[in-house]
Amino acid sequence: MSTFKEMLQASFKSNDTEEWLDVHFTRPIGLVFALFWNKLGVHPNVITILSIFLGIGAAYMFYYTDLWHNVAGVVLLMFANFCDSTDGQMARLTGKKTLVGRVLDGFSGDVWFVAIYIALCLRMMYQYIPGTAVHWGLIIWALAVVAGIFCHSPQASLADYYRQIHLFFLKGKAGSELDNSDQQRAIYDSLPKHKWFARLFYFNYSKYCKSQEKRTPRFQAFFKEYLKISGEDAEPGNESLAVSKVRADFVEGSRPLMKYTNLLTFNSRAICLYITCLLNCPWVYLLFEILVLTVLYVHMHSRHEHLCETMLGELKS
């Protein structure tokens, strides 16, 4: 029988792509929840749905300005994140991976933050802009749109893409979810019209993959050349020495960038959100996404594309 530590390690995607806070806090608690829910026969998708309600509940609490409502919001969002961790860990440990699960997993986090942005805007629009006698009004809604649509969304999607790229070169195709937009579109085209749910998922997912590919032209060029020498089905341990070296070199170059992908996902946003809501200045959270995380995003993107350009040059030399 596996020990708790062994099961915890098995529930990680990889050590490189796990944040310190997740390794030492979120994942262990998530695994306890996962073992508990699995013992009761609860499916991971049910846990994901629960996380959606918890996230919406957190947003409702963040609407208020008093301390105890905001403490409750922090607790609810933390539990939403535990549930989000739990469903992924359960799926990896039990093999209970489904199309509905993939849809819900991506959908849940979006629902949390859309609800939170709306709550913060409703909370602040009649407050005064610091140092002025002017209400935030529509300005705060404009900030939320910029932070959510033009910053948060592309930041998180590219960070996830870089994680999946890293996992692909580290563990192979079976250890990642690095998908191709053309392949996802082909699946959509092959599905009969009565399977409307699956068609809707693959249609939107192919567009999501396409947006990631458009922002990474140097990686796409490198990856195309890499697949020519490795083949579509090459896996670690079942490849030539030349391919193995390329894979190892890419992982070595990609590993330092994982700290940026981690910063651009949940924890740094959540910590900033918690602090600013508790101090009743959540507008700072929106500026944090727009200014600080955008700088990290640009830096991460630039370094990753430079890595891919260097690797492409090595492949062609």
Residues 267-290 pLDDT 10s: 999 999 999 999 999 999 999 999
Position 1 pLDDT exceeds 60: no
What six digits make up the tokens of 19?
A: 């944040």
pLDDT in tens, 33-58: 888 887 888 878 888 889 999 999 99
Region 89-93: what's the mean pLDDT?
Answer: 68
- Which pLDDT score is estimated for 234? 63
Which neighbouring-strand residues pair with 238? 235
C-alpha 49/C-alpha 81 separation (Å) is 12
Region 5-10: what's the mean pLDDT?
Answer: 73
- Which pLDDT score is estimated for 155? 97
- Close Cβ partners of 292 (under 8 Å, ≥ 6 residues apart): none
* Highest mean pLDDT (candidates 14-28, 117-131, 230-244): 117-131
C-alpha 116/C-alpha 74 separation (Å) is 12
Position 309 pLDDT exceeds 90: yes
Residue 149's pLDDT band (cuts 50, 70, 90)? very high
Residue 98's pLDDT band (cuts 50, 70, 90)? low
- Close Cβ partners of 203 (under 8 Å, ≥ 6 residues apart): 185, 188
pTM across the whole model: 0.91
Which neighbouring-strand residues pair with 128? 135
Position 9 pLDDT exceeds 80: no
